[in-house]
C-alpha cells in the first residue's frame, strides 16, 4: 500500500530460504527494499504449513500507544523487485489499528480517517444522485398534472434538484480528494461517470435561468434538453452508486437499504404514472369540442 513502511517476506527462488526485507513504499512503481523511518532489527522469517511468519524487533517513537497496521499478500517477486498486490475490496480493507498497551493487540473494527471519508463520499452521492434527483423528477412529472398544484410543484421540483446538485458537488469533491490521496488506485469507470454527472448536472442547473415561457417558440427544444439531461443524470447516478457499493464494499445492509429506497420510489412513480394517464384520458373525454355558440341556441337552417 502506497505510503506504508512494510516488512516483506518471500521464498528465495534459488535455495527456497525465507528472506525478509524492509520496504519504504513511496509509490507502486518503486517497490524496492529500503530503510524505514524507525529502527528495526532481528528480522527473521519462518515457513510453516504453507504460510510465512515474520519476526522482528522495532523501536517506535516515545509515547506512541497505537499504530496503523496493514497487511497484504503479494503476487510475486520479479528480478528482486516486489510486484504490486491486487486492489480488490478485500485487499484495500486489510487494515487495522495495533494497540501497543491495551489488552487487545489488533483492532480491525476501528474506522480510520480515510474510511470515514469514503463513507461520507458514499452517503453524499447516494442521497444526491440516488434519491433527491429521482424524487425531483417524480414531483415534476406527476404533480403538474393537477392545476391546483401549480406553481407549488415547480418550487418543490427546483428546490429538490438544487439541493441534490449542492450535495452531489460536495460528494464529487470528496471523491476527487480521495483520488488524489490514492496514488496508484484508479477506478476509471466510477471516476468517469462521476465527472460526467457533474458536468451534466452543472448544465442542467442553467435550465432554471434560460427557461422560456410556455408559449415561447423555443420551449419545445428546451423541454427536450431539460428532460434528456435529467433522465440521463438519474440513470448514470444510480449506476454509479452501485459501482460505488462494489468499491467500498460496506455491510450488506447499506446496499439493501438503498435498493429498498430506490425500488419504493420506482413503485410510487409507476403507480402515479397509471393514475396520471387515467386523469388525462378522463379529462380529454369530458371536454367537448367548441362549436362556436357557447351553449346558446343555435338557429337551424330553413327547410326549403
Torsion from C-alpha of 96, 99, 103, 106, nearest 10 degrees: 20
Binding residues: 121, 157, 190, 226
Calculate the alpha carbon distances from 210 to 198, 204, 226, 303 in Å.
19, 10, 11, 59
d(CA 227, CA 175): 27
Binding residues for heme b: 121, 157, 190, 226
Calculate the alpha carbon distances from 117 to 216, 269, 274 in Å.
47, 33, 42
Amino acid at each position: 500500500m502506497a505510503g506504508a513502511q512494510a516488512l516483506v517476506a518471500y521464498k528465495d527462488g534459488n535455495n527456497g530460504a525465507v528472506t525478509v526485507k524492509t520496504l519504504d513504499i513511496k509509490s507502486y512503481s518503486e517497490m524496492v527494499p529500503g530503510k524505514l523511518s524507525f529502527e528495526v532489527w532481528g528480522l527473521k522469517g519462518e515457513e510453516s504449513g504453507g504460510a510465512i511468519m515474520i519476526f522482528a524487533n522495532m523501536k517506535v517513537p516515545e509515547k506512541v500507544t497505537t499504530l496503523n497496521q496493514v497487511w497484504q499478500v503479494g503476487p510475486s517477486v520479479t528480478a528482486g523487485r516486489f510486484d504490486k498486490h491486487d486492489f480488490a475490496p478485500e485487499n484495500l480493507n486489510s487494515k487495522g489499528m495495533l494497540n501497543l498497551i491495551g489488552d487487545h493487540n489488533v483492532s480491525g473494527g476501528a474506522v480510520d480517517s480515510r474510511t470515514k471519508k469514503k463513507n461520507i463520499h458514499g452517503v453524499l452521492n447516494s442521497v444526491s444522485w440516488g434519491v433527491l434527483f429521482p424524487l425531483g423528477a417524480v414531483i415534476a412529472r406527476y404533480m403538474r398534472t393537477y392545476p391546483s398544484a401549480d406553481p407549488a410543484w415547480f418550487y418543490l421540483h427546483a428546490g429538490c434538484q438544487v439541493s441534490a446538485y449542492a450535495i452531489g458537488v460536495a460528494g464529487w469533491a470528496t471523491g476527487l480528494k480521495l483520488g488524489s490521496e490514492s496514488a496508484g488506485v484508479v477506478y476509471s469507470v466510477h471516476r468517469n461517470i462521476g465527472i460526467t454527472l457533474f458536468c451534466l448536472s452543472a448544465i442542467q442547473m442553467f435550465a432554471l435561468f434560460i427557461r422560456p415561457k410556455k408559449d415561447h417558440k423555443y420551449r419545445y427544444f428546451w423541454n427536450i434538453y431539460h428532460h434528456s439531461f435529467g433522465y440521463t443524470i438519474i440513470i448514470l447516478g444510480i449506476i454509479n452508486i452501485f459501482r460505488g457499493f462494489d468499491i467500498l464494499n460496506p455491510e450488506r445492509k447499506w446496499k439493501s437499504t438503498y435498493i429498498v429506497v430506490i425500488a419504493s420510489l420506482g413503485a410510487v412513480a409507476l403507480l402515479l404514472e397509471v393514475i396520471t394517464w387515467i386523469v388525462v384520458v378522463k379529462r380529454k373525454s369530458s371536454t367537448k369540442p367548441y362549436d362556436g355558440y357557447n351553449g346558446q341556441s343555435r338557429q337551424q337552417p330553413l327547410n326549403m
